[in-house]
Amino acid sequence: MAEQYWDPDIETASQEKLRDIQTEKVKALVARAYENTTFYRGRLDEAGIKPEDIRTLDDFARIPTTSYFDDFIPTPTADKLAVPASEVASVLSTSGTLSGSPQPLMLSRSDLDTWSELMALLFTMQGVRKGDMVQPVFPGPCVVDRGVNLCGATMVPAGASSFAMDYTIKLMRNVSPTVLVSSPSLFMEFERRALQLGVDLKTSGLHTCIMIGESWSDAFRRRVESDRPTRFYDIYGLMEVGMILGECHERKGMHCLDHLFLLEIVDPETGRPLGPGEAGEIVHSPVAGGNAPAPLPHW
């Protein structure tokens, strides 16, 4: 049982304990964002809210939500950054699909550590262990590599195959990975091309395929698992905030990493938080406690 958990104290914590953790982190987040970022200080001042007003999660819900198109994209990076630029350790970026141009995402060393631990937790939930060889079929952020290494597994970075599918397949034939990381649509294309090059993913020794980057269905899972000894797992997240949800070995839905994120379901028209079973829009606020770039709370 211990191998199923990266952090047993957190992953088996009661809802009450997790809410307490979220409350303390939310208070620290609001204070840090107000004190260190031009954007959030202006947004909170407009709403007439000071950091000391946020004592509970209900108080946090009073803070106006922010919008990707109206707030995140047009706001200069310097106005969102919560640390001096000299403390930024790594710059990631979005694909630019929605915004029309890649958006920079600046991470401090603290952020890198948090994101790496986050990936290690998710990968452990999904069966990655010491001795595994993990190969992605597309380039990913450095925190994926670091997360795999924290699990004790070996990472085959996409750069090792020059980011080209044929090279990736040929390298796969030589290193024999046990875990593949892909998006659902790319997996289907990858498998077809692998067969053309003489590699059958159904008999290649893969025990796990981790799907990220796109939504997929139970019908897709049934289709791809029907004639192979490989289990497929889902991870949900955004480059702007990190990976938020993931399946465990039970695969009966995804777990939110509540110690790192606060998820709310809100009425898209009013912003009012909704109760269990009510359909609305997902609003996620990273509360991990990192230093940069103070990702948009209530986004």
pLDDT band at 67 (very low <50, low <70, confident <90, very high): confident
Say if 298 falls within a structural domain: no
- What's the pTM? 0.91
Burial 23-35 (b: 16+ CB within 10 A, else e): bebbbebbebbbe
The verdict on 139 and 221 lying in the same domain is yes
Residues 145 and 73 in one domain: no
Q: Which H helix or E strand runs over 256?
A: strand 254-256
pLDDT in tens, 14-25: 999 999 999 999
- Which pLDDT tens digit goes with each residue over 164-192? 899 999 999 999 999 999 999 999 999 99
Domain count, the chain: 2
CATH number at residue 197: 3.40.50.12780
Question: What DSSP letter does each residue of 57-81 carry, written as one string?
Answer: HHHHTTSPP--IIIIITTS-HHHH-
- What pLDDT is stored for residue 46 in this prediction? 95
Which runs of consecutive H residues, i.e. helices, occur in 12-71? 15-36, 38-46, 57-60
Q: Does one domain contain both 117 and 69?
A: no
Examine residue 102 and state whether it is found in any structural domain, yes or no: no
Q: According to the model, what pLDDT value does residue 2 have? A: 54
pLDDT at position 160 is 62
**Same domain, residue pair 181 and 59:** no
Per-residue pLDDT tens for 115-146?
A: 999 999 999 999 999 999 999 998 888 889 99
Q: Domain containing 129: what range?
A: 113-246
Interatomic CA distance for residues 229 and 204, integer angstroms: 10
For residue 208, pLDDT beyond 60? yes
- 215/256 Cα distance (integer angstroms): 16
* Furthest-apart CA atoms within the chain: distance in Å: 64
Residues 6+ apart with CB under 8 A from 56: 23
Whether residues 80 and 133 fall in one domain = no
Rounded distance between C-alpha atoms, residue 87 and residue 196, angstroms: 47
Pairing of strands 281-286, 261-266: antiparallel
